[in-house]
């Protein structure tokens, strides 16, 4: 069974640009979660999607947005990139009625 896959692995952008990160959940998982992990810090919850809808978002500005597609894959968009957006972005999936999170390998975003 394929795990959670994220792309790209690394992404380098210039301040002010937009970044798009992608996540494919485990087959059968309907919930996708996005987390930001800045260097040396813990994981901060960004967004939760389930059945194509945004269910919850963390304490992040509106320039962090995303969507979930009918096949349950998801993308995270970060507009007007700032230097402090440099971080590892992790995606996780779970069954809608399940509790166990499975994480992807992450996308390391660097803003220069």
The answer to whether residue 76 forms part of the interface with another protein (CB under 8 A) is: no
The answer to whether residue 38 forms part of the interface with another protein (CB under 8 A) is: no
Nearer to another protein, 42 or 70 (CB): 42
The answer to whether residue 65 forms part of the interface with another protein (CB under 8 A) is: no
Tell me which residue of 95, 73, 72, 83 sits closest to 19, measured CA to CA. 83
Nearer to another protein, 11 or 43 (CB): 43
In the set 13, 50, 67, 73, which binds another protein (CB under 8 A)?
50
On whether the CB atoms of residues 87 and 37 are closer than 8 A, the answer is yes
The answer to whether residue 54 forms part of the interface with another protein (CB under 8 A) is: no
The answer to whether residue 31 forms part of the interface with another protein (CB under 8 A) is: yes
Encoding tokens for residue 51?
């059945």
Q: What residue ranges bind another protein (CB under 8 A)?
A: 31, 33, 35, 37, 41-43, 45, 48, 50, 55-56, 88, 90, 92, 94, 96-103, 105-106, 108
């Amino acid at each position: 069974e394929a795990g959670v896959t994220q792309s790209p692995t690394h992404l380098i952008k210039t301040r002010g640009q937009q970044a798009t990160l992608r996540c494919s959940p485990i087959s059968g998982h309907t919930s996708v979660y996005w987390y930001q992990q800045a260097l040396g810090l813990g994981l901060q919850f960004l967004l939760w999607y389930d059945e194509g809808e945004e269910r919850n978002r963390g304490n992040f500005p509106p320039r962090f947005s995303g969507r979930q597609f009918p096949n349950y894959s998801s993308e995270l968009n970060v507009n007007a990139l700032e230097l402090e957006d440099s971080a590892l972005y992790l995606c996780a999936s779970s069954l809608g009625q399940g509790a166990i999170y499975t994480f992807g390998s992450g996308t390391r975003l660097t803003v220069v």
